[in-house]
Amino acid sequence: MIIENKIKNVKKSISYDKRNNKKISLVPTMGSIHKGHIFLIEEAIKKSDVVWVSIFINPSQFDDLNDYKNYPRTLNQDINIIHSLSKNIRIFSPKINEMYSEGVSYEKFDFGKIVKVMEGKHRPNHFNGVATIVTKLFDIFKPDYTFFGQKDFQQVLIIKNIIEKKFKETKLITCKTVREANGLAISSRNRLLDHNDYVNSKIIYEMLVFAKDSFNKLKINEIKEHVSNKINSVPNFELVYLDFRNSNSLEKIISSKENQNLHIFICVKVNGIRLIDNIDAK
């Protein structure tokens, strides 16, 4: 297995593979590899000759310093998991000063309305940080394919926008959300939940399904009130938002008469840990 932490070495390797007409996939991660990442990597293996997995906890996308400090860091374990999938997968795990040689900062992007709602509204400049690091990675790898999970649906729309503007030769592959046995969308942050909070977290997906099933039966404000009451009644749980939006534009949907391309989004804070999920309700 190749493990690199220098951009110049990665570029040299990529250049060699491109000259030999090899298809290259990139799976960007912040480490703490879980079943969701594994699914992305396995899909990448099917699609290409060379698979790179980047492991980098990107400081510029955290608006909360404590969230950054508490984010799980399990590099050695991550390497072992990836190695068990295939010894041919290559890992890029740079230090902060390798990716931000002039100090940590984010570039300002114009993504229009899609960054002014939900996570963009509640986490100022989060998506500028995401777009900054993704642009850096795409500049390094020039991948033929890149893989992201549908759990971070709003982020996927951002990546799609970046590719359309700057990396037209890269194809974005969006993969289904992988879930825990209780329905909770798998996330690195799940490791921060204590046992009781993890058990109770099944309510998040249950409420998404309820919202989907109730959309043509109840008014949206009635659905929101029910979901809010259910989630906020669980110890340590706080509903941040439940939103009904168009899956392409993220425009708010306010009635069942606008049921085209409906996507439902939820964010819940569990003892301060931010968990997001979504469901396609078309």
Which residue numbers are catalytic?
A: 37
Q: 263 exposed, middle or buried (CB, 10 Å; 0-12, 13-18, 19+)? A: buried
- The C-alpha atoms of residue 27 and residue 25 are separated, in whole angstroms, by 7
- The C-alpha atoms of residue 170 and residue 260 are separated, in whole angstroms, by 28
Contact 208, 223 (CB under 8 A): no
Phi, psi of 237 (to 5 degrees): -100, 135
Amino acid at 17: D
Q: 96 exposed, middle or buried (CB, 10 Å; 0-12, 13-18, 19+)? A: middle
Instruction: Please report which helix (H) or strand (E) contains residue 148, including its range.
Output: strand 145-149
- The C-alpha atoms of residue 7 and residue 206 are separated, in whole angstroms, by 43
Other beta carbons within 10 angstroms of residue 77's beta carbon come to 13
Angstrom CA distances, 151 to 8, 117, 260, 261, stand at 32, 16, 20, 17
